[in-house]
Structure 1
């Protein structure tokens, strides 16, 4: 009966063509410190809480600032049409050639924009602005579009890199700064191309991809949803909602005890929760989570952090990223539905604090991307539902 009611609520929602109404979210001022400790009562502080203040931001910004122009080592992930398709990374990807691979370069740019927006007085603020200006030129973006339009590149970076490109564009569009608006204008044609790729791909994907790495469907849908909502792209938003419900609405009893996999940087169960909290109305989400992962509502719910055995192994270090991505899902739930999931903040803090010390000064295997995950998790921690 519960499942029938849930399906009915979802159908009714679509028939009215109404967007999911979420509680208003209060974000910190650009000059404020994101102090996660302030969000928890003393008796829930189980771990040292990480604060993202200007000192931490100045340290974190070194990672993306140093890697966006570091061309080698480089993992191209390229399918060759012919021998003439071979070229150096900066030729193939004039905007996003650094940071080991394309998607890491994209979200390194996101990190720079995000940190500069939150902390306009960063020590290297001018260098950041210069680096962004040099990367995200209209000419460079046209070069990226040319690569995506190659015959063998229609599925390139699907959908992880696509999701981060839209997250970068969303960040630029929300940056009330002349530079931000200029760069958003330059990047918009590539964002439009990615939106079209999503719209072409989603109807053809018969089954979701439930893995803990790049191709996870729920993660790709989540960031795409945020972009569609920010840009008020109703058609894209509806395509995402329909796909998410088609993939996940009937799911029961996610086997979270099977997690994590040895290479995971995303939780298949939690990423599914993260997209469904976005696309379902409150009443429908409450019914769905009771079937899918009811243990999240328990005040004593625990999940052990991921442990990295070798920090120089690029795959094994994924588990630090898992700790950050789990945390942003927990924060997202606590922000949206504090009355049911507010207790998850302490678990999120535990995950962040476990891995945060590994970000700065890490080997390149983790350093080229982990900072982004830490920044995004702490940005989610800095949000709080309106009282």
Structure 2
């Protein structure tokens, strides 16, 4: 009976455009005004709020700023159609050749934009602006577009890199700065191509990919959905809603006790929750969680942090990323539905606190991408509770 009711709600909401799917609980907004005794050594808050302050931003900005022009070592992930397809990273990807691989370079650029928007007076603001202007020039983006238009590039960075490209496009689109608008226009042709890739691929994907690494379907849908909502791309948003419901609506009893896997930087269970909280109305989502992961609603819900044994190992350090990605999902739930999930904030804080001190000064295996995950988690922590 619950399943039938849930399906009815989901069908009804397709034609309803006004549902914001939020609680109406009053809550204290997140601010940068915090008491000194609440601070961890790295400037984070242990209780109700985690805050990324200017001092930490000045440290974090070094990671993407340094890596976007670091060409080697490099993992191209390229399918070669012939020997002429060989080339150095900067030749193949004139905009996104650094940071070890293409998707890391893309989200490093997102990190720079995000930090500059949050902290306009960041110490290296001029260096950041110059780096962004050089990378995201119209000429360089046309070079990236050319690579994606190759016959052998159809599955390149599907869908993890695609999702981060749209996240970067969204961040630029909402940057009220002449440079932001210039770079947004430069990037738009590539964003449009990625949207077309999603529209072509999603209807053909019969089964979701439920892993804790790059190819996770739910993660790719979540970031793409945010882009569609922010930019008013109704067709993409409706497609993602439909496919998310096709993939996940009937899921029960996610085996969260099996997590984490040894190389996970995403939680298969939580990423699914993250997309479903976006595409389902409030009551339908609550019923769905009751079937999928009911323990999440209990006030004493616990989830141990992912422990990293060797941060110089590029795979094992993934677990630091897992802690950050879990945290941003917990924050998202707590802010959207504070009555049901507000207790998850402290759990998110625990996950951030475990891994944050290891981000700055980490080896390149983690440093080239973990900064982004930390910034994204702390950006989610700063958001206000939905009214």
User: Please, what TM-score do these two structures have when normalized by structure 2?
Assistant: 0.94
Q: 1:264 to 1:281 in 2, by over 3 A?
A: same
State the Cα RMSD in Å.
Answer: 2.2
2:26 pairs with 1:18: no
Counterparts of residues 297-336 of structure 1 (less than 5 Å) = 297-336=297-336
Per-residue CA distance 1:42-99 (angstroms, 9 max, x = gap): xxx8679753100000000000000000000000000000011000000000000000
Gaps of 5+ in 1: 40-44
**1:19 Cα deviation from its structure 2 partner:** 5.9
On the 8 A contact 1:34/1:52 being kept in 2, the answer is no
Question: Alignment partner of 2:321: what SS?
Answer: helix
Q: What is aligned with 2:125?
A: 125
For 2:192 and 2:21, the matched residues in 1 are separated by: 26
Q: Distance in 2 between matches of 1:304 and 1:125?
A: 37
User: How far is 1:385 from its partner?
Assistant: 1.3
* Residues 309 and 316, structure 1, Cα contact 8 Å, conserved in 2: yes
For 2:107, the equivalent position in structure 1 comes to 107
Query: Is the CA contact (8 Å cut-off) linking 2:96 and 2:102 kept in structure 1?
Result: yes
1:47-196 → structure 2 map (5 Å cutoff): 50-196=50-196
CA distance in 1, matches of 2:33, 2:204: 41
Shift of 1:18: 2.7
* CA pair 105-125 structure 1, distance change in 2 beyond 3 A: same
Label 1:239 to 1:268 Cα distance change in 2 as closer, same or farther (>3 A). Answer: same
Counterpart in 2 of 1:280?
280
Q: Aligned-pair distance for 1:13?
A: 1.4
Counterpart for residue 209 of structure 2: 209
Please give the alpha-carbon distance, in whole angstroms, between the structure 2 residues aligned to 1:116 and 1:222.
23
Kept in 1: contact 2:148–2:154 (CA 8 A): yes
Distance 1:214-1:208 versus aligned 2 partners, 3 A rule: same
Gaps of 5+ in 2: 39-44
Q: Contact 2:58–2:122 at 8 Å: present in 1 too?
A: yes
Does the 8 Å CA contact 2:23/2:339 hold for their aligned counterparts? no
Q: 1:324 to 1:10 in 2, by over 3 A?
A: same
* CA displacement at 1:21 relative to structure 2: 1.6
1:201 deviation in Å? 0.2
Question: Cα–Cα, structure 1 residues 61 and 46, in superposed 2: closer, same or farther, change >3 Å?
Answer: closer
In 2: Cα distance, 1:117 partner to 1:24 partner: 28
CA distance in 2, matches of 1:60, 1:289: 35
Task: Answer whether contact 2:359 2:366 (CA < 8 A) is retained.
Answer: yes
Counterpart in 1 of 2:351?
351
2: distance between equivalents of 1:37 and 1:386?
Answer: 27
**Cα distance, 1:12 vs structure 2:** 1.4
Aligned to 2:364: 364
* 1:368 partner SS: helix
| Moved >6 Å (runs of 4+) | 24-29, 34-39, 45-49
